[in-house]
Amino acid sequence: MESQQSNHEFEIWDAYSSAVMKASEKIGPAVIHLNTINSKILSKNSSIFQLPQKGIGSGLLIDSDGYALTSAHFIENTDKISAQTPEGKKIKVRLIGIDPISDLVILKLEGKNFPWIKPAYQAKVRVGELVIAVGNPTGLACAVTAGVISAIHPSLNLGPGLQSSHLIQTDAAINPGNSGGPLVNSKQEVIGISAFMVRGSQGLGFATALSDVEKVIEQLINDGHVFRPFLGIAGHALILDEKEKNESGRTKGILILEVQKQSPASESGLRPMDIIMNINGIPIESMRELSGVIQKAKVGEKLNLALLREKKKTEAQVILRDKGIFKRRKPLT
């Protein structure tokens, strides 16, 4: 009986080890090492420089021409960056596009015919499944850690019409130098990009899910920027009073508390204390629903808003513009 149990446990661990090894063998050749340097002047009137701040991270080659994916927080505010393949070959790098909302960056390595892996944008991500964090922290060889998906967090609300990508929580250790590397499932599919480990915690790591960022990556490669429409209001969900319910036929809406100056909302005549009931006929009862509608729209698209103003129905038309706040200040060398 004990022998049978021992054999069964061995088979389980053997399957686990096999999944980790296969993922490492398949994904490892496409995982690069990244070095960053950040030099800053102490003040505009000073010629004294701080000591350069150096950083290390990882990235994933996503096509044979040298386009690579990594984390935005690792690259942001960096002056210089260089890449190194698992074989130790140093390669020049250019920044193509950066998007802090999704925490993703596209880099371009000099050269061609690189080993690469296509992200699994359509892969189903489930709590409890095995995942492997692959990185290249030394520039000499890939390093892997394994764990499970502990939770899947919905996107974070970063303001009206702006939401972060979904986050995958995992207990697979995201060690220093592994940030920006791929998070892989047992099918050897890249389902996320490792972001960070919470300091002082045990088993609390996060990765950017790739399930909803295919268009983000396409725009970064083609345009160097993600075009995100925005409305320009601050508000919160509101339960309507009886008069408002009778006038609108609804029970909930979004109360506008603030309208940003020179925004699409202000240009369309929206005012504080207006209540948004629906957009293009779609009922809006929460800020998350509002953000979802704005996010799915296109820059330049006209939206029809049904409102309550001083308890009377009215309408407004809004033409969305690009938020345009995350364009990089200067090129990366």
Class of domain 2-223: mainly beta
Known catalytic membership, residue 179:
yes
The arithmetic mean of pLDDT across residues 105-115, rounded, is 95
Q: What is the pLDDT of residue 62?
A: 98
Q: Is 99 a catalytic residue?
A: no
pLDDT for position 331:
42
Give me the catalytic one of 58, 71, 99, 103. 103
Residues 303 and 284: beta-carbon distance below 8 Å: no
What does the pLDDT average to over 127-138? 95
Which one of 24, 179, 211, 291 is the catalytic residue? 179
| pLDDT range class, residue 6, cuts 50, 70, 90 | low
Weakest mean pLDDT among 5-9, 171-175, 300-304, 325-329: 325-329
- Which pLDDT score, from 0 to 100, does residue 145 have? 94
297 pLDDT exceeds 80? yes
Cβ neighbors of 252 (< 8 A, separation 6 or more) are 237, 238, 239, 240, 285
Q: Which residue among 65, 73, 79, 225 is the active-site one?
A: 73
pLDDT at 42: 45
Q: What is the mean pLDDT of residues 156-166?
A: 54
103 carries an active-site annotation: yes
Residue 287 phi/psi, 5-degree rounding, is -65, -30
What value does the mean pLDDT take over residues 12-20? 83
What are 19-31's pLDDT values in tens digits? 899 999 999 999 9
Per the DSSP assignment, residues forming a β-bridge with 151 are: 169
Q: What is the CATH number of domain 229-322?
A: 2.30.42.10
Q: Provide the terminal-to-terminal Cα distance of the chain, rounded to the nearest Å.
A: 64
Where residue 155 falls among pLDDT bands split at 50, 70, 90? low
The domain spans of the chain are: 2-223, 229-322
φ, ψ at 197 (rounded to 5°): -115, 135
Q: Do the beta carbons of residue 130 and residue 23 sit within 8 Å? A: no
Nearest to 159, CA basis, from 299, 321, 323, 270: 323
The kind and range of the H/E element at 315 are strand 312-319
Q: What is the dihedral of CA 323, 324, 326, 327, to 10 degrees?
A: 170
pTM of the model: 0.78
